[in-house]
Amino acid sequence: MNITVLFPTSTEARHFSHPAASVAYCGVGLTRAAHATTRLLADSRPDVLILAGIAGVYPGSRLQVGDTVLVASEQEADLGFFGKDGFRHLADVDIDMEFDVSKVRPCPWLTGQEPLPHAHGNSLNAAMAPFAPTAGIDLENMEGAAFFHVCLQENQRFYEVRSISNRVTLDEEAWDFDASIRNLAGGLHEFIDWLLQAG
The pTM score is: 0.91
Number of neighbours of residue 190 by Cβ within 10 angstroms: 15
Is 163 in contact with 11 (CB distance < 8 Å)?
no
pLDDT grade, residue 112 (50/70/90)?
A: very high
End-to-end CA distance of the chain: 8
CA 7 to chain CA mean position, Å:
10
Secondary structure of residue 182 in the 3-state scheme: helix
Could you tell me if 192 and 18 are in contact, meaning their C-beta atoms sit under 8 angstroms apart? Answer: yes
Domain architecture of the chain: domains with CATH: 3-198 (3.40.50.1580)
φ, ψ at 38 (rounded to 5°): -60, -45
Q: pLDDT digits over 45-77, tens only?
A: 999 999 999 999 998 899 999 999 999 999 888
Judge whether 177 and 68 are in contact, CB under 8 Å. no
- The H-or-E segment that residue 160 falls in is strand 158-167
**pLDDT digits 0-9 by tens, 143-180:** 999 999 999 999 999 999 999 999 988 777 778 889 99
